[in-house]
Amino acid sequence: MTVAAGPITAAQEYAAELLPQAESRLGFRVGGKVVRRAVQIGQHVKAGQLLAQLDGVDYRLAADVSKAQVASAQANLELAAAEFKRYTGLREQNFISAAELERREANYKSALFQVQQTQAQAASQGNQTAYTSLMADVSGVVTAVDMELGQVVGAATPVVRVAQDGPRDAVFAVPEDKVGSIQLGMQADVRVWASGAVLPGEVREIAPSADPVTRTFTVKVVLKGKESPPLGTTVSVLPRFNASAANEGIKLPTSALYRSGERTAVWVLDGPSMTVKQTEIALGGIQGSEVLVTSGIKAGDQIVTAGVHVLTDGQKVAIYQPRTAPATTAAAK
């Protein structure tokens, strides 16, 4: 190939992982023994679907006790109401004192409040019974199940994780010297490693502080396409920088490079003698399947791009000419 200068864009490519924007960690609101596990990892669930069940015998017995207390309080209320009505009539005929009527009225009000208290307790106990069933709050995919049958779990302990349906994020880490070039709202190309498909994305979140261990900043790019690859898919993110970042430079295919000891070299063709000469070059970086050359060759040089490992310094070569098939005659057809 003949070396020529071309545009070099300050491209940056980052390995990323596809994660949900929201992931719910669900747990029981009461403690107990797990008697049923209704979902598996990777299963899609809908809002309101049963995920797991606790042993609710004790909670149901407590609810029955509360119902019995409500019935007893209502019976006392009916008795107190009847006495208050009867003593009201006696007071109107001056057969009893006002103080006696006030005592009956106080008994009636106390019985009324007792009914309200037991009804509230019964409703609360009924909720406790319902809490033994763990239901999905949102639709999504089960990403983790941290419980087994027979296991005793505590209240509010996360036992199921559900990745909510909706937008997906490509999450990757950016070093300190590069995070300044990435801005919120910047467009990006998200390339799926397995299929090679390229999806549009947009930077929606940049971590305000560096990770204390890796000293990198977490960046999240939301995918704009309607369909997203499965969770956990490996992708590459290429932020789209302004065209003003482009410069002129020399790029060579990696097949043209020849490693000689600690040096990187290429084979440059000497036109008059048709021989090749090993020429050391300095590399400036990698862009896809090409490398940037900062010194050693110049525009207009001819270099070897294939078979570099079988050449020797000063070897005579010829420029490859592709063979063309002879025209097929009508008779041959």
Q: Return the CATH architecture of domain 9-19+166-240.
A: Beta Barrel (2.40)
The reply to whether 57-130 and 247-310 are identical in fold is no
Which pLDDT belongs to residue 193? 87
**DSSP 3-state percent helix, strand, coil across the chain (nearest 5):** 25, 35, 40
pLDDT confidence tier of residue 327, bands split at 50, 70 and 90: low
- Encoded amino acid at 147, one letter: M
Q: For 161-176, write each residue's pLDDT tens digit.
A: 999 988 899 999 999 9
Give the sheet arrangement for strand 133-135, strand by strand: 133-135, 50-54, 32-37, 152-153
CATH value of 247-310 in 2.40.420.20, 3.40.50.300, 2.30.30.140, 3.30.2310.20: 2.40.420.20
Q: Return the CATH architecture of domain 28-54+132-163.
A: Beta Barrel (2.40)
Looking up tokens 């020429």, which residue turns up? 279
In order, the DSSP letters of 93-119 are: TTSS-HHHHHHHHHHHHHHHHHHHHHH
Q: Which stretch of DSSP H or E encloses residue 318?
A: none
Distance separating alpha carbons of residues 192 and 165, to the nearest angstrom: 20
Distance separating alpha carbons of residues 56 and 128, to the nearest angstrom: 9
CATH fold, domain 57-130, is Helix Hairpins (1.10.287)
Average pLDDT, the chain: 88
Name the 3-class secondary structure at 229. Answer: coil
Which pLDDT belongs to residue 145? 94
Domain ranges across the chain:
9-19+166-240, 28-54+132-163, 57-130, 247-310
CA nearest 171: which of 186, 190, 185, 187? Answer: 190
Q: For 176-220, write each residue's pLDDT tens digit.
A: 988 888 999 999 999 998 888 899 999 999 999 999 999 999 999
Which pLDDT belongs to residue 292? 85
Which pLDDT belongs to residue 243? 47
Which pLDDT belongs to residue 276? 92
Which pLDDT belongs to residue 245? 46
Q: For 8-27, write each residue's pLDDT tens digit.
A: 665 688 999 999 998 999 99
Distance separating alpha carbons of residues 23 and 138, to the nearest angstrom: 10
- Encoded amino acid at 152, one letter: V
Mean pLDDT of 138-151: 93
Q: For 54-94, write each residue's pLDDT tens digit.
A: 999 999 999 999 999 999 999 999 999 999 999 999 989 88
